[in-house]
Chain A
Amino acid sequence: MEKDERKAERSRFPKLPEFPRRQDEPLPPGERADIRNEKSFLRLTGILCLLCAVCGLLLGLANLLTEDRIAENQGSRNMGVLEEVLPYGGNYQEIRYSGGDPTIEAVYEAPEAGWVFQVSPAGSFSGRLTLMVGVDVDGVVNGVAVTDSGETEDLGLRASEPEFRNQFTGKTAAVQLEADGGDIAAISGATITSQAVCAAVNSALAAAAELG
Chain B
Amino acid sequence: MKEYADLKLTVASSPHVGSPVGTRALMMDVLVALTPALCMAVFFFGPRALALTAVSVVGCEIFEALYRILLKKPVSGGDLSAAVTGVLLAFVCPVTIPYWTILIGDFFAIVVVKQLFGGLGKNFLNPALAGRAFLALCYLPEMTVWVRPGTKFWLGLTASAADAVSAATPMADLHNGLLPWLGTSGVRLHDMFYGNVGGCMGEVSALALLFGGGYLILRGVIHPRIPTTYLGTVALLAFLFPRVGSAEDWMLAQLLSGGLMLGAFFMATDYVTSPCTPWGEVLFGVGCGLLTVFLRSFGGSAEGVSYAILLMNACVPLLEKYTQPKRYGASRGWQRKARKEGEHHGKG
Q: Which residues of A contact B (CB under 8 A)?
A: 125, 154-155, 188-189, 192
Type the 1/0 row for B127-159, where 1 means its CB is closer than 8 Å to any CB of A: 000000000000011001100000000000000
Given known contacts A125-B300, A188-B166, A154 and B140 CB-to-CB distance under 8 angstroms:
yes
Q: Which of chain B's residues 154-201 have a Cβ closer than 8 Å to chain A?
A: 161, 166
List chain A residues, Cβ under 8 A from B140. 154-155, 189
Given contacts A125-B300, A154-B141, A188-B141, 8 further A-B contacts (CB under 8 A): A154-B140, A155-B140, A155-B141, A188-B145, A188-B166, A189-B141, A189-B144, A189-B145
Count B interface residues, CB 8 Å.
7
Report how far A43 CA is from B214 CA in the complex, Å.
82
List chain B residues, Cβ under 8 A from A192. 300
List chain A residues, Cβ under 8 A from B141. 154-155, 188-189
Report how far A188 CA is from B300 CA in the complex, Å.
17
| Cβ contacts A to B, 14 pairs, < 8 Å | A125-B300, A154-B140, A154-B141, A155-B140, A155-B141, A188-B141, A188-B145, A188-B161, A188-B166, A189-B140, A189-B141, A189-B144, A189-B145, A192-B300
Report how far A155 CA is from B161 CA in the complex, Å.
17
Report how far A188 CA is from B140 CA in the complex, Å.
11
A154 to chain B, nearest CB (A): 5
A149 to chain B, nearest CB (A): 14
List chain B residues, Cβ under 8 A from A189. 140-141, 144-145
Report how far A125 CA is from B301 CA in the complex, Å.
9
List chain A residues, Cβ under 8 A from B166. 188
Cβ-closest chain A residue relative to B145? A189
List chain A residues, Cβ under 8 A from B300. 125, 192
A59 to chain B, nearest CB (A): 41
B159 to chain A, nearest CB (A): 14
B295 to chain A, nearest CB (A): 15
A68 to chain B, nearest CB (A): 43
Report how far A173 CA is from B212 CA in the complex, Å.
55
Report how far A154 CA is from B135 CA in the complex, Å.
12
Report how far A189 CA is from B145 CA in the complex, Å.
7
Report how far A125 CA is from B140 CA in the complex, Å.
13
Cβ-closest chain A residue relative to B141? A189
B198 to chain A, nearest CB (A): 13
Report how far A155 CA is from B140 CA in the complex, Å.
8
The 6 A-B residue pairs whose C-beta atoms are closest, nearest first, are A189-B144, A189-B141, A154-B140, A155-B140, A125-B300, A189-B140
List chain B residues, Cβ under 8 A from A125. 300
List chain A residues, Cβ under 8 A from B145. 188-189
Report how far A155 CA is from B144 CA in the complex, Å.
12
Q: Which of chain B's residues 298-331 have a Cβ closer than 8 Å to chain A?
A: 300
List chain A residues, Cβ under 8 A from B144. 189
List chain B residues, Cβ under 8 A from A154. 140-141
Cβ-closest chain B residue relative to A127? B300
Report how far A188 CA is from B147 CA in the complex, Å.
13
List chain B residues, Cβ under 8 A from A188. 141, 145, 161, 166
B179 to chain A, nearest CB (A): 19
Report how far A154 CA is from B140 CA in the complex, Å.
8
A146 to chain B, nearest CB (A): 17
Report how far A99 CA is from B300 CA in the complex, Å.
30
B150 to chain A, nearest CB (A): 21
A143 to chain B, nearest CB (A): 25
Cβ-closest chain A residue relative to B140? A154
- Best-surrounded residue of A125, A154, A155, A189 (most CB of chain B within 10 A): A189
Cβ-closest chain A residue relative to B164? A188
A175 to chain B, nearest CB (A): 21
Type the 1/0 row for B11-50, where 1 means its CB is closer than 8 Å to any CB of A: 0000000000000000000000000000000000000000
